[in-house]
């Protein structure tokens, strides 16, 4: 299984989770970058505004084409109950180009259902599994949650390989 982990992270928490997943799966990793940084209170306010308005800000051209991977694992932080706007830009750009996908999200509230549904809608793919992480999960149980998530990804990938034969 050739995998790609795509991550947008403003503070580094989502990136840390994505790096653990990529290392465990032996997957490539793509960090979504922006030409303009989001620092301080103005960056925070801009982030919330863009998320609520479902904006698609410019992002740096990705280096990897997700259509060349068997599975793409997409991770984003949640802003104002929605996916981060740079992730919306990425998913819109590659909509319909994912063979299989799995999603994870980090947020301060832990309530990411609407954001995860929005990711599926924008990407044009139903995820094989999802993982939601709140701050308490990142402190206490992150390794176990990641292992369960990876096990679900691997099980689905094995089932699909057998079905394709």
> Domain of 70: which CATH number?
3.40.50.360
pLDDT at 51: 86
pLDDT at 95: 97
CB 82 within 8 A of CB 48: no
pLDDT at 76: 96
SS (H, E, C) the chain: CCEEEEEECCCCHHHHHHHHHHHHHCCEEEECCCCCCCCHHHHHHHHHHHHHCCCCCCCCCCCCCHHHCCEEEEEEEEECCEECHHHHHHHHHCCCCCCCEEEEEECCCCCCHHHHHHHHHHHCCCCCCEEEECHHHHHHCHHHHHHHHHHHHHHHHHHHHHHHC
pLDDT, average across residues 108-123: 86
pLDDT at 108: 80
Of 4 and 110, more confident: 4
pLDDT at 11: 86
The model carries a pTM of 0.89
CB 126 within 8 A of CB 156: no
The structural domain count of the chain equals: 1
Residue range(s) defining the domain that contains residue 17: 3-164
């Amino acid at each position: 299984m050739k995998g790609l982990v795509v991550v947008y992270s403003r503070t580094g928490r989502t990136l840390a989770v994505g790096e653990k997943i990529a290392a465990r799966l032996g997957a490539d990793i793509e960090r979504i970058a922006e030409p303009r940084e989001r620092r301080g209170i103005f960056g925070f306010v801009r982030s919330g505004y863009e998320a609520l308005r479902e904006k698609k800000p410019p992002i740096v051209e990705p280096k990897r084409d997700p259509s060349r991977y068997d599975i793409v694992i997409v991770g984003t932080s949640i802003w104002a109950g929605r996916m981060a706007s740079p992730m919306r830009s990425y998913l819109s750009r590659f909509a319909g180009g994912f063979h299989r996908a799995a999603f994870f999200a980090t947020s301060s509230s832990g309530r990411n259902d609407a954001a995860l549904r929005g990711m599926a809608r924008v990407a044009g793919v139903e995820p094989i599994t999802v993982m939601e992480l709140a701050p308490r999960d990142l402190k206490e149980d992150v390794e176990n949650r990641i292992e369960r998530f990876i096990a679900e990804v691997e099980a689905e990938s094995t089932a699909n390989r057998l079905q394709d034969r």
